[in-house]
Amino acid sequence: MKNLAQLGNELYSGRTSIPFIAKRKVWYAIALSVIAIALILLGTVGLNPGIDFKGGTEVTVTGIESPGEAPANAVVTAQGLPASTAVTTTGASSVRVQTAELTSDQSDALRTALAEAYNVETTNVSATTIGPTWSSDVTSKALRGLILFFLLVGALIWAYFRTWKMAVAALLALCHDILVTVGVYAATGFEVTPATIIGVLTILGYSLYDTVVVFDKIRENTDAWQAQTRSTYPELANLAVNQTFVRSVNTSVVGVLPVASLLVVGAFILGAGTLRDIALTLFIGMIAGTLSSVFLATPLLVDMRRREKAVVEHTQKVTEARAQRLAEAGDDPQAVASLAAAPAASPLIPGHHLGVAAQPKRKKKRS
């Protein structure tokens, strides 16, 4: 069995090839199915916005020897608070109660009742009220941040690669990452907090970096691609994905492992909180971002360029050249097999690295 280094070398040289472009309809079908499920969950179950987005009162009890939700739930019932009130443990000695916006008297009564229920001083119980104006401001700024991110990223990719099609393909891959993350949040019922937005922006940057690396390799492979008749544009793009595939896997594993550790620590050791919110978003988004960079971004780019006049004419030229080479091979099975197995490769360009044989020879010193 090949190890990862051998596989990477063979993928880079073209001796082994994964048909990312040829199987693009399969990847599209899987991606659309996941997106459809995410949209259904979003429309039926919906997201669970945190207090920062919907407003309300948050009461936190600290310094508890044995934190549990039962005493707080009993107080919530006794106080006649709404059914939407959420009680969660945070960390090793804290309990948090989130409910609809309370008046000052109601907040003081809840603080006193919780202090008695957990046998702590009232100074260990803090209450924070977030009004609808502040929460709506947070929501609008979060949406504004996402829109601004997309606009700036699209303009940057367009300027860097000098083609709007790469920008569109990258942004569509980013939309996939957001929808997958939103779908998981809707399915699990995790709260959407400002930390979630920070995590989303982080994973978008991570996914974008991965996509730009693949696109940069495509640009390198397709430099002067019309000057050769060995490989078509889709084949050179597929080679670029293969050449960066192992790197993408390695980067993802290195990135996901510590995030998974943070998620476990935040969810099972420290309890609900900012650490868990960011870690969950990063964990979902980093995996989705890697998959979209490999399986979606490049196939989308190829489909957008497939009907360009230059691509169509060059594909026809490559097809005719291959037919001619096969005809010249005649009945020689070795020659036919060699042509069939020839890997796709980017054209050799004068001035680029041409191998060890092209390096200047050193003169031997006389003894």
- pLDDT of amino acid 297: 92
Average pLDDT, the chain: 80
Domain positions in the chain: 19-40+134-306, 56-130
pLDDT at residue 7 greater than cutoff 50: yes
Q: From 1.10.10.1150, 1.20.1640.10, 3.40.50.2000, 3.40.1260.10, which CATH number describes the 19-40+134-306 domain?
A: 1.20.1640.10
Using alpha carbons only, what angle is made at residue 352 by residues 348 and 354, rounded to the nearest 5 degrees? 65
* DSSP 8-state secondary structure symbol assigned to residue 267: I
- pLDDT of amino acid 349: 47
Q: Is the dihedral of CA 229, 231, 232, 236 positive or negative?
A: negative
Using alpha carbons only, what angle is made at residue 180 by residues 176 and 181, rounded to the nearest 5 degrees? 120
Q: From 3.10.20.30, 3.30.70.260, 3.40.50.300, 3.20.20.70, which CATH number describes the 56-130 domain?
A: 3.30.70.260
Per-residue pLDDT of 292-346, as tens digits, reads 999 999 999 999 998 899 999 988 988 888 777 767 666 656 554 554 555 555 4
Per-residue pLDDT of 252-299, as tens digits, reads 888 888 888 877 776 666 655 667 777 888 888 888 888 999 999 999
pLDDT at residue 124 greater than cutoff 80: yes
Cβ contacts of 308-313, under 8 Å, gap ≥ 24? 310/226, 311/232, 311/233
Q: How much of the chain, in percent, has pLDDT values that exceed 90?
A: 15
Per-residue pLDDT of 131-158, as tens digits, reads 767 667 777 887 888 888 888 888 888 8
- pLDDT of amino acid 328: 67
Question: Using an 8 Å Cβ cutoff, are 179 and 35 in contact?
Answer: yes
Distance CA 119, CA 140 (A): 40
